[in-house]
Chain A
Amino acid sequence: MSAQPGPRTRLAGGLLLWYAVLGGAIAWAVHLFVAWGVDELTCAGGSDRIGAVPLRLVVALAVVLPALATAGALLAAAFAWRRTARTRPDGIAEGALGRTRLLALVGLWSNVLFLTIIVLGGVALLVFPPCQR
């Protein structure tokens, strides 16, 4: 662990942290737009299939895939928070470590919130036929 990571590794680490912080938010936004948009437009067209695929399956995918992405971000955030919890290695400023831990913790809790939203919204799929008004 003593070797300084190269620029690509640093980039990967930085991006991983941002995925941990914003992954849930972005996944939720995608979920909202795709699930709502597909449901709305297909039903407005008077059908509950898109081509040969049942609409329900498409909406289910628009729930499950973002939920998985959010769960991944949640794990990444938990991981980043635990990883940085150990004593501070040499050569890392106190501010940088504190900032990373703040972002990881904010990411952790916000991913929990977004996962809750996606799951709560997605449960309706078990109850309502996709086009019932």
Chain B
Amino acid sequence: MRAPDLAAATTTEALTTELPVGRSTGWWGMVMFVATEATLFSCLLGSYFYLRFQHGGEWPPGGIEQPKLLRPLVMTAILLPSSLPMIWAERGIRRGRRWRLRIGLAATLLLGASFLALQGTEYDELLHEFTITTNAYGSLFFVITGFHGLHVLVGLAMVSWLLAASLRGGSFGARRHDRVRNAAIYWHFVDLVWAAILFTIYLSPRL
């Protein structure tokens, strides 16, 4: 089967297929914004590894303990699935089902808020041990997780804003849902970044 497929894919008709096509300006704007934000996070996480390996000695330095794993894993189990109701809501509104949009957004909001609450309790505990001014590790830990937390907060603001607009009525429907889609792209991005942070901050020191 493969050979004929390949032959079909290399006809002029197939090669001239336009890809990507038909996206809205808002979609492209959000994708570009997420691209530049993703670069920012790559630089931030890259700086973590750079400082760690240039430091050479024990890591975390200065007698700071290895980060505990249980709470961040629970946080992951809350944040990553929070994309699912978002997807469900977006698919719903594309078919004009407003109730799905409302319920899905509310569920995402709840999950995101619990994530932030858990992060708050983690900070509360850790700040007794080390702070942003203890050493470069402390600076990295709090700036990376704090900056991501800020992104979650912004994402939650977007979701609440969408929820408010959808509760008002007359905002979204099968033919008007660009804003939902763009906010969803941002939210999925914030989730994905957390996976990278989980690996960098919590898992990689144990490797």
Contacts and interface: CB of A to CB of B under 8 A. Distances in A.
- Indicate whether A and B interact: yes
Interface of A: 1, 4-5, 9-18, 41, 44, 79-80, 83-84, 86, 88-89, 91-92, 96-97, 99-100
A117 to B, nearest CB: 22
Nearest to B15: A13
B3 interface: no
A84 B17 contact: no
Interface in B7-53: 8-19, 53
Interface secondary structure of B, over-half rule: helix
A27 B187 CA distance: 29
Contacts of A84: 12, 15-16
Given A12-B5, A44-B53, A86 B12 contact: yes
Contacts, number: 73
Interface secondary structure of A, over-half rule: helix
B13 A13 contact: yes
Given A9-B5, A44-B53, A14 B12 contact: no
B63 interface: no
21 contacts: A1-B13, A4-B13, A5-B14, A9-B9, A9-B14, A10-B14, A11-B17, A12-B5, A13-B15, A13-B16, A14-B15, A14-B17, A15-B19, A16-B10, A17-B15, A44-B56, A86-B12, A88-B12, A96-B16, A97-B16, A100-B12
